[in-house]
A = this chain, B = another copy of it.
Amino acid sequence: MKTIQKLLLGLGAGLLLIGCGNNSKSDSGAMASSNAEKVYVAPGEHDEFYAFLSGGYSGNLTVYGLPSGRMFKEIPVFSQFPTNGYGYSEESKAMLNTSFGFVPWGDSHHPDISQTNGKLDGRWVFINENNTPRIARISLETFETEEIIEIPNSAGNHASSYVTENTEYVVAGTRFAVPNPQKDMPIDEMKGEFKGPLTFIKVDQEHGHMEIDFQINMPGFNYDLSHPGRDKSHGWFFFTSYNTEEAHSMQEVNASQNDKDFIAAVNWMKIKEYVENGGGTEVAGTYAHNIYDESTMMATTEMKEGVTSVDPREVPGAVYYMPVPKSPHGIDVNPTGEYIIGNGKLSTQLSVYSFAKMQEAIKNKDFDGDAYGIPILKYESVLEGVVDSGGLGPLHTEFDGKGFGYTSFFISSEVVKWKVGTWEVVDRQPSFYSVGHLTIPGGNSREPFGKYMFSMNKITKDRYLPTGPELEHSAQLYDISGDKMELLLDFPTHGEPHYAAAIPADLIKSKSKKYYDLEDNNHKYAAKSESATRVERKGNEVHVYATTVRSHFSPDNIEGVKVGDKVYFHITNLEQDFDVPHGFAMIGANTSEILIMPGQTKTIIWEPKREGVWPFYCTDFCSALHQEMQGYVRVSAKNSDTKLRWSLDDEWKE
């Protein structure tokens, strides 16, 4: 290795070793006791905040309570979820379609809750997929994924999915510079040839539906993270970039040569106007747009073609670069919108930029040259101050709404609290170990709720009982209501949480849906009463219109199915009460089970391969007679003349 990386990695390792001795001093005696009470949510009581943690390589979104650190749900988003059949059932599998075909797995990174006037409004959570660039929208009434849109012409959508302060837009960015349009070319000729499109996706305010509005075809750097301006800086969006060296190999070393990389400051309001007035060029770009319709209970894919591409150099005053030391990772904006924080991950300092100074520098054309035609604002002209922390490797900053910023330092493995305005460090706490993002409920809005902060740490090692070589990652919850941060709790996470969004429970709990109204069930194959249940043959397709209610299926005996048939079980759960799901499993099905919520219809396919009498059953312990909730299907030979008939309690119908 050529540069400071060896030193940095060495330092990191050293600090980790120091950290491994369970040397957290504040955990014992009276302090531990009071911390115990602070995180304890007694049986029958509820947590104060919801936290939505990304699942990273799980592709999902997990829901936790704060301060207890308990996981309440894993919401499947970009990955198949055998638990309830998401990504397997006929209704849901379209959600995982992409322009590359069906992709069973995703890598979810940064959830962001919808906002109105810069405040959390609790309508939706958005979350991005990195590997196959996509953004998903999850309903905060049903806690289900309702929509996934793919981002074409991009690779590694990491800078996503932050929203503007009225949820006008959610953004995506290219983490890996790629040819745009894609083409077969030598890798080592990438410099100047690859591009880094940033994508702005409009959000329909009524239904939340997403639509790609435009892509800004930026120079081919790696765009890492982003944050919207708010309040006075509303109308702007800020993106960090690294690998301004445009290295294509061994980036560990070759992408860390420049002393400064860039923050891209994008005046999206200006580009929006430009596009509305006919600006931009229609370019190729195939992408899947998947929507789950709660009424028909069916997800469908629309494969779309073409996006509006904007050359940033052709929209005067729309895009600038601000220099930031070294290989910045996170970019954050304080609640007033005045300060923009660049977290240079290989540096010791945080750079704080002033939005007012930026405006002034733009007016004065206070430039330090340009990068591929994008003006570079003079570092000194836009810099408001520096947080000189003494830490190493700042990654991300959150705000408490009381005038303080909290920054994670990966290499020195700590959280540093500092004062907005004076930039002085007022507290620091070691993290166990190697902290990534931090989250404060609303810490990403005009109105943070500065009672708790939690860190999402990358190394777990000795934090919990060992579970072999593979460990869950770990989070740490701090009380930040006082002057000093107080470590309360370690709690394991599921998947690899990157960012998390959190919100006071009171803002959403009352509108949480308890069941689906049978009357609103417009599923094509729903049987809305037992009298509507039936079995129909269409060629070698057999459609079973079945129902569940405690504690039987209707029908529960079926005959006349043949080897070679394709049997569609459409199961409607007739229950109309909270928390009475039924499940359905059929021996020999190569799809999955399905878990059906009250009022819902779901479908799986079974292709019987052998003659016999084969059972099915309910997979969710639903009542005292759950074990009796079963049925049989008789399967005859392909050429048999067994009549198609079905029954409940020996009343055969055909």
Contact = CB atoms under 8 A, between A and B. Distances in A.
A620 interface: yes
A50 to B, nearest CB: 6
Given A44-B22, A251-B552, A57 B69 contact: no
Contacts of A426: none
A249 interface: yes
Interface string A61-98: 00101000111111000011011110010000000000
A460 B470 CA distance: 30
Number of copies of chain A assembled together = 2
A254 B587 contact: no
A88 B22 CA distance: 37
A586 B557 CA distance: 46
A101 interface: yes
A612 interface: yes
Interface string A552-596: 100011010000000000000000001101010111111111010
Interface residues of A, number: 185
Interface in A617-653: 617, 619-625, 627-632, 634-637, 640, 642, 647-650
Nearest to A647: B249
Contacts of A179: 612-613
A59 interface: yes
Contact of A464 (B72, B256, B470): B72
B611 A556 contact: no
A446 interface: no
A436 B627 CA distance: 12
Contacts of A492: 70-72
Interface string A1-15: 000010011001000
Interface stretch (A140-148, A363-371, A520-528): A140-148
Residue of A143, A179, A590, A647 with most chain B CB atoms under a 10 A cut-off: A590
Contact of A82 (B59, B102, B587): B59
Given A250-B648, A469-B578, A495 B83 contact: yes
Contacts of A590: 100-104
B143 A459 contact: no
A625 B5 CA distance: 8
A125 to B, nearest CB: 12
Contacts of A637: 184
Contacts of A557: 187-188, 248-249
Contacts of A490: 41, 43-44
Interface stretch (A27-35, A268-276, A307-315): A27-35
A415 to B, nearest CB: 13
A472 interface: yes
A222 B466 contact: no
A132 B35 CA distance: 46
16 contacts: A74-B494, A107-B619, A130-B619, A131-B619, A224-B627, A251-B552, A252-B552, A256-B628, A329-B627, A345-B624, A411-B624, A461-B579, A466-B512, A469-B578, A470-B595, A496-B620
